[in-house]
């Protein structure tokens, strides 16, 4: 019998992205899967685009009553609720790193006999993430940074107005190109942009945006580990106009900039886009802000800097600015793994995800482990293992 995937309609406000796209849905259908797609008012893809490739449209929220052998596919968290989950869910659940409320989120799966296969932890043979949204985060972050720089020049003293998702990347690029042209005309030069983490997913996106928007290559400084080895703070950052931080912070490092480096007379820096957004991490190497900005208010002023002003963009959901392209790239990267779902009991990537789920359930208090604990107890009593 065909394995059935059930694509949830995302419930998080303003989430237009989707784990499956019409293209990847078609590939799954061609490979013999059945794909049920919930109608969705927010998804960037029209319901009809899925129907046209052969998917079956089903009502929004119908995953709860789907047959238990259906695999429920989604992107972000399930709506907050308490009922026990009986299905296998493929999604980001944000409950494996002891985030606030993790026990409530995770315990629903073992209590209903369900399984969580968390997208954040799917890795390939060499431990790299199978699918991530980094490229479009960097692309969108650099776009907003250039717009903010230009806005400072063309509308002194005014904040960058709110932004919302673009129907496609070309429309964003058109806006950024026109902003860059006005800003560069006013400044009588192009901005110098320094990207740190330039070899990673976010960093490559940021560099590509700068290039495509028209920043000359000699004005785009691409730094990665070798350039920051000597340890910050770095004068090159404050002497650039725009700094886009895209590193993956794994260990504590000295700050990339601080009050002292920012007080330099040579400071040109007026926009920082912290794509990495390690806002609450005590080792955040961009320690000049304490809260995240949003699409509504993309920039936050850094107090005490007026000439030039200094603004920070610290949006933690940047890929949502480009939901269509971000979804397509993510879903294409995920597709080879999705195609193994029908054999998931022998597939390395899904077995690893299931193993991690069991490990995390094992860290829940016993009273919250429900059916999973009873099954583990049965195995123990039959095999005599402790
Ligand atoms: N703001 C958002 O919406 C958003 C979206 C996606 C990802 N992110 C975050 O962006 C960060 C980067 O993600 P990614 O997928 O690009 O990671 P990645 O692993 O693909 O790339 C990180 C890059 O940073 C470099 N790097 C690490 N430490 C460095 C240092 N000290 N100096 C210089 N370079 C250094 C690495 O060599 C690598 O090239 C992560 O923290 C991720 O959570 C944010």
Tell me whether residue 94 is one of the annotated catalytic residues.
Answer: yes
The rounded Å distance from CA 286 to ligand 1 centre is 13
Q: Answer yes or no: are the C-beta atoms of 143 and 315 closer than 8 Å.
A: no
Tell me whether residue 87 is one of the annotated catalytic residues.
Answer: no
Domains of the chain: 4-131+322-383 (3.40.50.720), 134-321 (3.40.50.720)
Dihedral over alpha carbons 362, 366, 369, 370 (to 10 degrees): 150
Tokens of 48: 């009809």
Tokens of 297: 């208010």
pLDDT tens profile 10-25:
998 889 999 999 999 9
What is the best residue among 122, 133, 134 to mutate for testing ligand 1's pocket, by most ligand atoms within 8 Å of CB?
134
The rounded Å distance from CA 198 to ligand 1 centre is 9
pLDDT tens profile 172-191:
999 999 999 999 999 999 99
What is the model's pLDDT at position 375? 63
Q: Please state, in angstroms and as integers, the Cα–Cα distance from residue 146 to each residue in 167, 172, 287, 292, following that order.
A: 20, 12, 21, 18
pLDDT tens profile 98-149:
888 899 999 999 999 999 999 999 999 999 999 999 999 999 999 999 999 9
Q: Which residues 6+ apart lie within 8 Å of 375 measured at CB?
A: none
Q: Which residues 6+ apart lie within 8 Å of 21 measured at CB?
A: 45, 327, 328, 331, 332
């Amino acid at each position: 019998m065909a394995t059935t995937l059930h694509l949830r309609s995302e419930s998080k406000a303003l989430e237009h992205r989707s784990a499956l796209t019409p293209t990847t849905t078609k590939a799954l259908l061609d490979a013999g899967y059945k794909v049920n797609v919930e109608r969705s008012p927010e998804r960037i893809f029209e319901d009809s685009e899925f129907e046209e490739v052969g998917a079956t449209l089903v009502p929004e929220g119908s995953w709860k009553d789907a047959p238990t052998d259906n695999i429920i596919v989604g992107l972000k968290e399930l709506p907050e609720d308490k009922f026990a989950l009986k299905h296998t869910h493929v999604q980001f659940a944000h409950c494996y790193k002891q985030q606030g409320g993790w026990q409530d989120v995770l315990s629903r799966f073992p209590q209903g006999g369900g399984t969580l296969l968390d997208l954040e932890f799917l890795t390939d043979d060499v431990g790299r993430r199978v699918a991530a949204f980094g490229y479009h985060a960097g692309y969108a972050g650099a776009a907003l940074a250039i717009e903010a720089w230009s806005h400072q020049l063309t509308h002194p003293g005014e904040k960058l107005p709110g932004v919302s998702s673009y129907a496609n990347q070309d429309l964003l690029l058109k806006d950024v190109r026109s902003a860059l042209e006005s800003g560069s005309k006013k400044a009588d030069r192009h901005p110098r942009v320094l990207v740190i983490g330039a070899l990673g997913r976010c960093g490559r996106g940021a560099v590509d945006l700068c290039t495509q928007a028209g920043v000359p290559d000699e004005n785009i400084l691409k730094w990665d580990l070798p350039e920051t080895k000597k340890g910050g703070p770095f004068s090159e950052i404050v002497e650039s106009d725009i700094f886009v931080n895209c590193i993956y912070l794994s260990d504590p490092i000295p700050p990339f900039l601080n009050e002292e480096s920012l007080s330099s007379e040579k400071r040109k820096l007026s926009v920082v886009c912290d794509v990495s957004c390690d806002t609450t991490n005590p080792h955040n190497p961009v320690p000049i802000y304490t809260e995240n900005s949003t699409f509504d208010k993309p920039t936050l002023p850094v107090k005490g800097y007026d000439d030039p002003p200094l603004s920070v963009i610290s949006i933690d959901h940047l890929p949502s600015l480009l939901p269509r392209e971000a979804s397509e790239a993510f879903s294409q990267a995920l597709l080879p793994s999705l195609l193994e779902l029908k054999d998931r009991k022998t597939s390395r990537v899904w077995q690893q995800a299931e193993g991690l789920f069991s490990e995390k359930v094992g860290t829940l208090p016993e009273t919250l482990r429900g059916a999973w604990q009873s099954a583990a107890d049965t195995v123990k009593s039959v095999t005599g293992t402790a």
